[in-house]
Structure 1
Amino acid sequence: MRFEQFLIGNAARHAAKTALVTDRKRLSYGEFDDLSSRLAAALAKAGVKRNDRVLVFMDNCWEAAVSIFAILKAGATFSPINASTKADKLAYIIDDCEAAAILTQAKLMPVVADARAQSSGKADIFVASTAAPNGQSPAGAVPFEGCLSAEATPVPHGGIDVDLAMLIYTSGSTGRPKGVMMTHRNIDAASESITTYLRNEHDDIILNVLPLAFDYGLYQLLMAIRLGATLVLEKSFAFPHAIFERIREEGVTGFPLVPTMAAMILQMRDLEPGFLPSLRYLSNTAAALPPPHIARLRELFPGARLYSMYGLTECKRCTYLPPEELDRRPGSVGIAIPNTEAFVVNDEGSRVPPGVPGELVIRGPHVMQGYWRNDVATERMLRPGPNPWEKVLYTGDLFQTDEEGFLYFVGRKDDIIKTRGEKVAPKEVETVLHAHPGIAEAVVIGMPDPVLGHAIAALVVRTDPDLTDKDIIRHCTRHLEDFMVPKIIEFRTELPKTDTGKVSRRLAAETMEPAQ
């Protein structure tokens, strides 16, 4: 079914239950359903039609959540855009997807105005408040207040579950961003699978600090609405103690993390084990947690299940490690999520035996339809599968399995470093670096070298100010083959990250000084 039906159904069953908590507003399911219906009617009246693309250019606020479901109720396709996106990239997205409308905040209107001036598109603009940064009402924009006071009449769009529900743009780290096409059926399948293995319940209270423009953050909203659960929406993890207090106040049961958040938590010295007793589970994706970080998180949160996961925008989630397997396989990202299949192949597309690295391939109803109007990129990722009627997702990531089929991330195919004629996966070196008690975070890259081809370089954030580069090299020498030991160590106060908080190998390489 179409995904907005989950909101409509839960509002009918328990209208008074809290659906969304933000710093400015609490919405019950009845209020959430009503507001999104009113906005949907306003969008339709403004000319938004079935299958039109509508951008949601906002930070984590109640208006963004309402906008997403309003767009679905209007029969259109929502595209969440990170609030830190600059005008040139926003202009590209407006033109690429031929956006019919942009739902934004007054504080972001200068960026929207600049983007529209650069683009050929003429999208209507709906603004979540009338006060712009200069105190003036944005010219030519429709204020939310008027939309939300309109009659909540249903929009008879006639859409079905194979229509596009969302178009989510990749970060564009290797070029222009690509729009990943997901139908209602795709997100239904993905959210059902994830809530199944996380053992989510309708009484869960999930706290999300990750941007709704990041699919990991977005799915916290989609999963909560699917379940009839409560989502506590925060804007960032910049002040962890404030987030911890929020968890205690709201009785939060689920807390999704990324590795940078885990590293921040583990650097805090004033936390006692069990200090957030309401938590039932923690989850991690974006990048694998180093095994030492997993061990320390389990000490801090003894009552919570910890899920290590792996995924990518093109299918949302690929694998998860059942918490009971953590002690046996702390370095694994697990097995395929329910109702999907994950396997490893060589360059010819044949499955490889355990212990042999190859490319991870994903089958399942959650796999994207392709990239928006980009056939070349689509054909590279979606290729014929084991059966004549299907295409499967080639992830571009190198994995290997153990004898029982559990998967281990080796590295991105493009990230492999060739040094002294050998191939080095940065992840393997990073795992050793993270095992050192004086290191909080580390990222490994290859630096051009006239003798070695590439030299292994490590950017390190240390917790021990007395730790030296020689200490780190000695540590690596004890645990790695000689050609894998970093030749360059550079200390940083923080590592370069993407908008979603993921450590960026590309940005790290760009910030390194060339070897003399």
Structure 2
Amino acid sequence: MRIERYLQDSAARDGARTAVVAGETRLSYARFLDLSTRMAATLRANGIGPGDRVLILLDNGWQAAVTIFATWIAGAAICPVNPASKAARLAQIARDCRPAVLIVEGRLEPIIQGVPELADIPRLVTGDGGSFDAGLEADPLGPETHPDTDLAALIYTSGSTGEPKGVMLAHENMDAAARSITTYLGNTASDVILVVLPLSFGYGLTQLVTAMRVGATLVIEKSFAFPQSIFEKIRDERVTGFPLVPTMAAMMLQARELDPSHFASLRYMTSAAAPLPLAHVDGLRTLLPQARLYIMYGQTECTRVSWLPPEEIDTRRGSVGIAIPGTRAEVIDEAGNPLPPGEVGELVVSGPHVMRGYWQNDAATRQTLRPDPRTGALRLHTGDLFTSDADGYLTFVARMDDIIKSRGEKVAPKAVEDVLCRMPGIAEALVVGVPHDVLGQVVKAVVVATDPALTERDVMRFCARNLEDHMVPKLVEFRDALPKTDSGKAIRRLAAAPANTIGSTA
């Protein structure tokens, strides 16, 4: 099914139901569909249609949601980009995807002027008197039908491990993922989902797509910069679903005088971006015992890979769960064959949710989508090391490129990070390997401390009591914040070098 059908079908079932809440704006499904259809007419009037890419540079808000669905109704593909992106990233994406039109916030026009690659691209501008607003008054065109094999989204990876690549997701890929996710989360039209994650980020975009599929209400907030206001929004809108990332969990657990009654309506929380430290898992469950916590693992290349049923959290400590419904996930050796339970290998994924490939990057596509030696069918090589138990429950070990080799031993950064996050006075931690003349590499810990009295020696002693000797950090650096991508993922390669601001080593 094409994704715009989600909105059309939900509006047909109950057009009066609230679809989107953004600030003071509340849009019913009927109004949301009307605005999206009118915006699609504007796009078509500007020559936008099947095969075109629409570069969307908008803050989280109702305009972004309308633009996304309008693009699909027009038959084109979205290329959403975080408005906080720097000029160099915008230039790289523009060169790569060659958009037919740019839809941009009026406040960002000065930045656009500094990107020559965007200078000649037609644009629609939001804001007072902007062409976006005028376009919403255009006569809507009648519906058109397009195949679900069409490209729906071109989402550029965060670039946390190198140059960002454009992930091609067809409507059928996104539909398969949305159907699976809403099944195990038990989403219905009565859900109210709050998203502070960027809609330009796969995890955030999925909240919009799944909400429209079941006819739920999506509450869109621009960011998590002011947590207390978000908590009040959860209370006031009676939010039932709250997707978060580890940084948000850390901020919630540090919040002073957090009132649990704000979260009385919360049915579930999800975590699907970076691995959620066990200390955060335990803290969230203690803080909000009535809300089911769904720990998940995913990649932009397939949206989701696995989910851990909340009732399995205690018995499957550290696991990210089993393959999502309708898909397959296996841990394989270097020859591509399945490994027995407990053995470490690369995770590969098969299913209708797997991407079509990387935009105009055949070499990267061939490296990532490779045939199963048993069947010849293509499967996604995640580049992540996992173990699997006899029941198919997966446990993340590390990215293949992140493994630290010290004293001839292999160290998985996440194992050290989990211990660091259990230490009182530490909010977040990132572990990397740095070169050493004798040992090959040594473990370096970059931490965000809530206790200003904490020292490097304190951290090392705590780790020495809880880790094997070769896993104990030999370098500790304190920072105000971890280096992160726009989507909130910590960037290891930027943590390897000392920060220019706060930092000390032992």
Q: Once the two structures are superposed, what CA deviation does each residue of 1:217-241 show, in whole Å capped at 9, x if it has no partner?
A: 1110011111100000000111111
Residue 307 of structure 1 aligns with an amino acid whose one-letter code is Y
Q: Which residue of 2 aligns with 1:478?
A: 465
Indicate the SS of the match to 1:206.
strand
TM-score normalised to the size of structure 1?
0.94
Q: Which residue of 1 aligns with 2:12?
A: 12
1:350–1:389: structure 2 CA closer, same or farther, 3 Å change rule? Answer: closer
Indicate the SS of the match to 2:370.
strand
Q: Which residue of 1 aligns with 2:300?
A: 313
Indicate the SS of the match to 1:510.
coil
Residue 28 of structure 1 aligns with an amino acid whose one-letter code is S
Residue 144 of structure 1 aligns with an amino acid whose one-letter code is F
Q: Once the two structures are superposed, what CA deviation does each residue of 1:82-114 show, in whole Å capped at 9, x if it has no partner?
A: 001122321222221121011111001122232
CA RMSD, aligned part only?
Answer: 1.7
1:486–1:204: structure 2 CA closer, same or farther, 3 Å change rule? Answer: same
Residue 111 of structure 1 aligns with an amino acid whose one-letter code is I
The answer to whether residue 267 in structure 2 is matched with residue 268 in structure 1 is no
2:344 paired residue among 345, 349, 357: 357
Indicate the SS of the match to 2:496.
helix
Q: Once the two structures are superposed, what CA deviation does each residue of 1:16-37 show, in whole Å capped at 9, x if it has no partner?
A: 1110000141111011100110
Give how far 1:514 is off.
11
Q: Which residue of 2 aligns with 1:124?
A: 122
Name the stretch that deviates more: 364-373 or 24-33: 24-33
The answer to whether residue 364 in structure 2 is matched with residue 377 in structure 1 is yes
Residue 129 of structure 1 aligns with an amino acid whose one-letter code is G
Residue 15 of structure 2 aligns with an amino acid whose one-letter code is A
Q: Once the two structures are superposed, what CA deviation does each residue of 1:233-274 show, in whole Å capped at 9, x if it has no partner?
A: 000111111001001110000000100000001111312545
1:288–1:175: structure 2 CA closer, same or farther, 3 Å change rule? Answer: closer
Distance (whole Å) between structure 1 residues aligned to residue 337 and residue 100 of structure 2: 44
Distance (whole Å) between structure 1 residues aligned to residue 117 and residue 358 of structure 2: 23
The answer to whether residue 76 in structure 2 is matched with residue 88 in structure 1 is no
Distance (whole Å) between structure 2 residues aligned to residue 190 and residue 91 of structure 1: 30
Give how far 1:74 is off.
0.5
Distance (whole Å) between structure 2 residues aligned to residue 192 and residue 456 of structure 1: 42
Distance (whole Å) between structure 2 residues aligned to residue 147 and residue 272 of structure 1: 44
Distance (whole Å) between structure 2 residues aligned to residue 15 and residue 406 of structure 1: 41
Distance (whole Å) between structure 2 residues aligned to residue 374 and residue 261 of structure 1: 34
1:493 paired residue among 480, 493, 496: 480
Indicate the SS of the match to 2:497.
helix
Distance (whole Å) between structure 2 residues aligned to residue 329 and residue 413 of structure 1: 23
Name the stretch that deviates more: 218-227 or 495-504: 495-504
Distance (whole Å) between structure 2 residues aligned to residue 327 and residue 88 of structure 1: 45
Give how far 1:162 is off.
0.3
Name the stretch that deviates more: 145-154 or 204-213: 145-154
1:285 paired residue among 263, 272, 286: 272
1:437–1:514: structure 2 CA closer, same or farther, 3 Å change rule? Answer: closer
Distance (whole Å) between structure 1 residues aligned to residue 37 and residue 403 of structure 2: 49
Task: Determine what percentage of the aligned residue pairs are the same residue.
Answer: 55
2:134 paired residue among 146, 149, 171: 146
1:163 paired residue among 127, 141, 150: 150
Unaligned runs of at least 5 residues, structure 2: none
Contact 2:232/2:262, CA 8 A, preserved across alignment? no
The answer to whether residue 418 in structure 2 is matched with residue 431 in structure 1 is yes
The answer to whether residue 44 in structure 2 is matched with residue 56 in structure 1 is no
Give how far 1:288 is off.
1.6
1:477–1:180: structure 2 CA closer, same or farther, 3 Å change rule? Answer: same
1:405–1:467: structure 2 CA closer, same or farther, 3 Å change rule? Answer: same
Contact 2:336/2:372, CA 8 A, preserved across alignment? no
Distance (whole Å) between structure 2 residues aligned to residue 174 and residue 503 of structure 1: 10
Contact 2:197/2:223, CA 8 A, preserved across alignment? yes
Distance (whole Å) between structure 2 residues aligned to residue 55 and residue 285 of structure 1: 25
The answer to whether residue 311 in structure 2 is matched with residue 324 in structure 1 is yes
Residue 451 of structure 1 aligns with an amino acid whose one-letter code is V
Q: Which residue of 1 aligns with 2:68?
A: 68
Distance (whole Å) between structure 2 residues aligned to residue 145 and residue 269 of structure 1: 42
Indicate the SS of the match to 1:92.
helix
Indicate the SS of the match to 2:197.
coil
Q: Which residue of 1 aligns with 2:232?
A: 245
Distance (whole Å) between structure 2 residues aligned to residue 14 and residue 449 of structure 1: 64
Distance (whole Å) between structure 1 residues aligned to residue 161 and residue 457 of structure 2: 34
Indicate the SS of the match to 1:366.
coil
Residue 92 of structure 2 aligns with an amino acid whose one-letter code is Y
1:190 paired residue among 177, 198, 201: 177
Indicate the SS of the match to 2:269.
strand
1:207–1:308: structure 2 CA closer, same or farther, 3 Å change rule? Answer: same
2:450 paired residue among 457, 463, 483: 463
Residue 508 of structure 1 aligns with an amino acid whose one-letter code is A
Distance (whole Å) between structure 1 residues aligned to residue 375 and residue 436 of structure 2: 46
Distance (whole Å) between structure 2 residues aligned to residue 101 and residue 206 of structure 1: 30
Distance (whole Å) between structure 2 residues aligned to residue 335 and residue 265 of structure 1: 27
Distance (whole Å) between structure 1 residues aligned to residue 458 and residue 9 of structure 2: 59
Indicate the SS of the match to 1:20.
strand
Q: Once the two structures are superposed, what CA deviation does each residue of 1:163-201 show, in whole Å capped at 9, x if it has no partner?
A: 001110112234432110000000000011111111111
Contact 1:259/1:284, CA 8 A, preserved across alignment? yes
Give how far 1:478 is off.
1.9
Q: Once the two structures are superposed, what CA deviation does each residue of 1:271-311 show, in whole Å capped at 9, x if it has no partner?
A: 25454100000001211211121111111111100011111
Q: Which residue of 2 aligns with 1:106?
A: 106
Q: Between Structure 1 and Structure 2, how many residues are aligned? A: 503
Contact 2:57/2:105, CA 8 A, preserved across alignment? yes
Contact 1:58/1:83, CA 8 A, preserved across alignment? yes
Distance (whole Å) between structure 2 residues aligned to residue 223 and residue 87 of structure 1: 31
Residue 364 of structure 1 aligns with an amino acid whose one-letter code is G
